[in-house]
Amino acid sequence: MVRLLHQRWESAAVSEPLSVIRNQLPQSLPESVEKASSLHSEGRLREAEQLYQLVLEADPAHFDALFRLGAIRLRQGRFADARQLLLQAIEMRGDFAEVHGLLGSAMTGLRLNEQAISHYEKAIAIKPDYAEAHNNLGYTLHVLGRAKDSIAHFQQALAIKPAYPEAHNNFGNALLALGQFEEAIRQFEAALNLRANYAEAYHNLGNGLLALGRRDEALNQYRKATAIKSDYADAYYGHGKTLDALDRTDEAIGQYEKALSINPNHIDARIALGNAFHQVAQFEAALAHYDKALAINPLGARISLADAHQRRGHVEKALTQYGKAQAIDPGHVGAHLGRGDAFLALGKIAEARRAYEAAIALAPSGPAGYLKLGHIKRYTEADPHFVALTHLGPQIPSFPIQAQKLLHFALGKALADVGDHEKAFHHFLEGNALKRQQVNYDEAHSLGMLERIREVFSRELIQQKSIHGEPCPVPIFIIGMPRSGTTLVEQILSSHPSVFGAGELQHLRKLANGSAGPQLKFPESVRSMSAEEVRELGRSYLSSIRDLAPRAARITDKMPANFMLAGFVQVILPNARIVHVRRDPCDTALSCFSLTFEGHIDYCYDLAELGRYYRAYNLLMTHWRGVLPPEVMLEVQYEELVGNLEQEARRIVTHCGLDWDDACLEFHATERPVLTASAVQVRQPIYNSSIGRSKPYESFLRPFVEAFQGSTNLVRTLE
């Protein structure tokens, strides 16, 4: 961080009473100051401090004593005292660069950032080669969210003083904020080459590696940080975040608890701990931590508590918490956005729209409100929000990376609405390129996994293992590519009085990964599973969903990516039913490419990668059709479902072992939380405007089609 900040005050010697030291003072003030300066240089700061105090008793306007005692107070973290001393010193010598530099650091410590900037700039004007002032000015600009402006000052500091680990570290943090992760990592590594025991640089290097998805490497850096500095709460928190990203939730909980044992007011760790308990379905423990966080930061934690309720489908409770957040700060943008999301999940589209518009009114240059508003309405050229959004377009490079990404997606949607397809796709390309930089997609591993699944799950293995599975017919798995129509199918089924729609669940993936052992990973581990292990996995899944709806005859799991696990489903739950939803590949690709996803959908942000993944998905689905019993998996074509709703809906309901109910045709009237990107669409009667949506973009989608070529099920090829 800032060179003169965050250094712990350590006494090199036990100080003697001032009365004793007073008797030992040299006879003249210059000699006393010289002795104090010598002690200061030797690191005997407590003794130097006491001598400076005695000098100031004798001469309250002694510049050297004021300046040097101010420097000591700064090292002690006593920023207000340092400021008072240095302000007195600067009245005497306003042309002394170092006084302005130290006073700037005191102002930074007091969060008087604009005043700090003024003093750093004065210091640099007096002494252009003042490396520390450049570094500290860069740091303060970064704190103010002006990371781009800070870069030149870090570069200048390092040009003046190349062996400056703090400047490398601060430079890395600014680059991290700008999304320049690789360059940030190089700066942190440079800092560590200069100072091997620099805990903060190890921590920040972990942050950079985590941003690139290099999670195992990030873990190693956080461990190094805490090995050097055992009370480093931020490093334990970062370690926990990384374990969470690796789905090692139990271990993450331990790291968050360590962070909180050091700093009980670490709100990020407190909320992350609540989220982690939520992930393992310990909801009471999760809520307890959110409640504790409320005492630290009522606004931020209140919104997190609302978000947790919403994720659990408790939308009314979420609305209550968002309302309380607004009561704390009626102008808080996050509360309006959260309320909009909750209203949207409830199908209250008008209320959601008003909430998003309120967020935009409070933050006209904030992209999130426009992006969310675009999900629930079509923009027109006369729409004031469209005009405002297009005015933001030329300013995109000046925004932080995350905001740039969201603005590109928001503009892409808005321009598509008004028929400017070329500009719209340009923004989709730019937004996806930024998102691609933030994910660590290992294409060879992902495609290799799909190939290995085909190799392992033969018809013979499925027949051999499935006789030991849990025979309960309750689960229904709705699978397919993202944006293929799976939410519509779930909404139709969940409108049936005997069906509970559970949404997108992680249970099956965790069970599959948990089936691996030290020697064999999934899917190879399935070959060696015993009869009891197979039955226990089925029972475990059933127990997890039964807790959601104890009385339902059927429970849907609409995780599209479970298409990878259709054979695993048949092994552990042989009487479960699978509904595979397909959609025109180009329409699917465009729909994926025009959204930014949360979670592990990392193959969608490059058209060629998306095409290759789609081809591998298609090959796997062809495999399942050949090895699964014919009664297990039903194929549903989205276009046919839209074109002949009743016939296809009856086919789906019959496949799931249920009697027909006319409520399935009124799916848009079903009151249940819908938390996916299709929340608006499934609140409307059936429509066909999404069919052929990709037609105006055919020339732009060529990289997808070329990567997909060779598959036999391409619904529409390019002419």
Q: In the chain, what are the domain boundaries?
A: 458-708
Under DSSP, is residue 521 helix (H, G, I), strand (E, B) or coil?
A: coil
- Dihedral angle computed from the Cα positions of residues 147, 152, 154 and 160, in that order, rounded to the nearest 10 degrees: -170
Report the interhelical angle of 443-456 vs 607-627 (nearest 10°): 10
CA distance 559 to 503: 7
pLDDT at 312: 63
pLDDT at 329: 62
Q: Which ranges of the chain have pLDDT less than 70?
A: 1-27, 278-284, 286-287, 290-291, 294, 300, 308-316, 326-332, 335, 338, 342, 345-346, 516-518, 598-600, 667-690, 710-719
Neighbours of 49 (CB within 10 A): 22
CA distance 37 to 462: 81
pLDDT at 438: 81
pLDDT at 687: 52
Nearest Cα to 624, choosing from 441, 440, 480? 480
CB distance 205 to 188 below 8 Å: yes
Nearest Cα to 1, choosing from 250, 174, 222, 255? 174
Q: Which CATH class is domain 458-708?
A: alpha beta
pLDDT at 518: 66
Nearest Cα to 172, choosing from 198, 149, 154, 193? 154
- Give the angle subtended at the CA of 431 by the CAs of 428 and 437, to the nearest 5°: 135
What are the CA-CA distances from residue 701 to residues 346, 412, 594, 609 (Å)?
34, 15, 12, 12
CB distance 549 to 500 below 8 Å: yes
pLDDT at 11: 33
How are the residues of the chain apportioned to helix, strand and coil, as percentages rounded to the nearest 5? 65, 5, 30
pLDDT at 517: 64
pLDDT at 542: 95
Q: Which amino acid, 706?
A: E
CA distance 141 to 122: 15
CA distance 108 to 143: 9
Q: Which residues, at least 6 apart from 605, have a Cβ–Cβ distance to it below 8 Å?
A: 432, 433, 435, 436, 439, 441, 593
According to DSSP, residue 508 is labeled H
pLDDT at 572: 97
Question: What element of type H or E holds 223?
Answer: helix 215-228
Could you tell me the pTM of the whole model? 0.67
What are the CA-CA distances from residue 91 to residues 86, 100, 103, 123, 472 (Å)?
9, 11, 12, 15, 83
pLDDT at 279: 65
